[in-house]
Structure 1
Amino acid sequence: MTMTPPPAHQDAAATPELSLQLWRHGLRCTPSRLCRLRLLSASGEHLSSAELGGELRGRGLPFDQATVCRTLETFTDVGVAHAVHGPGPKRYGVSSEPHHHTVCEECGRVRDLAIDHMRIAVERITELSGVRTGAAGSLLLYGRCAHCSQK
């Protein structure tokens, strides 16, 4: 997966906001953490630790894969990012808006699904099954993405 980096002016503008986000969650704003958070935020996708490592490698940035994994887990532990389990590796995302996720059972791709779009369906699921959303307020919906469905 190759991501197009944001224009330099966007990247620089996002840095103070991302730095503040780390600080608010009790994390030191190291260059390494800031770079990883910037890449994860700019991707607009849910990335595995290997995919994030690939992005760092592709940009010629030094990294250690174990440190990338620990950083993503730290981001998840403090609430800077969230993790989505599905087939294949765990994937990590960053979003300021509450949302549900769809997970492709074949390729593992994770997509955000706005809570407002699912409000009536979630109420009906709760009514029929008694199951309520978790502490994060989101559901995981498994199926096959449009690309995998066409195979």
Structure 2
Amino acid sequence: MTTIPAPDLPALLRQHGLRCTASRLSTLRLLSSSGEHLSCPDVSGELERLGLPFDQTTVYRTLEALTAAGLAHAVHGPGPKRYGISSEPHHHTVCETCGHVGDLPIEQLREVMERITELAGLHTGTAASLLLYGRCVRCTV
């Protein structure tokens, strides 16, 4: 996942039509610096640990606003929805056991997506997102 330099975050929020509130700025900063896909409880817990105790409803609404504005994306899987940030288009792997979400660069699956188009007649375009479910390395041991 790609990180966004902290000084650019307020401008980025405004460019996407969002007011620069403390919860939005803190949540965007956390998602950008974490390098992980985090659930709402993960974000709430980490913000609280950092001394920014936003209630979980505020964090959820913030995550949904960031997603609606195109600054974050949500990945559904077992357990809670997880949110991430990346400036590069990518697909995801989702562990069916622990819920861990990983990124797969689109370039590495270009031939697979072309084959899906051939087999299914589905023209995916550049905004397509492929979710691959299975068990991660930690859960297969």
* Normalised TM-score (structure 1): 0.86
Which among 76, 94, 99 is matched to residue 85 of structure 2? Answer: 94
- Of 78-87 and 131-140, more deviation after overlay is shown by 131-140
Pairing partner for 1:130 from 94, 116, 121: 121
Equivalences for residues 59-138 of structure 1 within 5 A = 59-133=50-124, 136-138=127-129
Distance 1:132 1:122 in 2: 9
| Aligned match for 2:40, one of 37, 46, 49 | 49
Letter in 1 for 2:93: T
What is the Cα-based RMSD across aligned positions, in Å? 1.8
Q: Which runs of 5+ in 2 are unaligned?
A: none
State the SS of the aligned residue for 1:103: strand
Give CA deviations for 1:86-130 in whole Å, capped at 9, x if unaligned.
110000000000000111111111111000000011111221222
Residue by residue over 1:53-92, the C-alpha shift from the partner in whole angstroms, topping out at 9 and shown as x without a partner, is 0101111222111000000001111111000001100000
SS in structure 2 at match of 1:51: helix
**Distance (whole Å) between structure 2 residues aligned to residue 66 and residue 95 of structure 1:** 24
Consecutive unaligned residues in structure 1, runs of 5 or more: 1-9
TM superposition shift of 1:33: 1.1
The structure with higher relative contact order (CA 8 Å, sep 6+) is 2
Determine helix, strand or coil for the equivalent of 1:113.
Answer: strand
Q: Percent identity?
A: 65
**122, 130, 140: which one pairs with 1:139?**
130
2:11 pairs with one of 9, 13, 20: 20
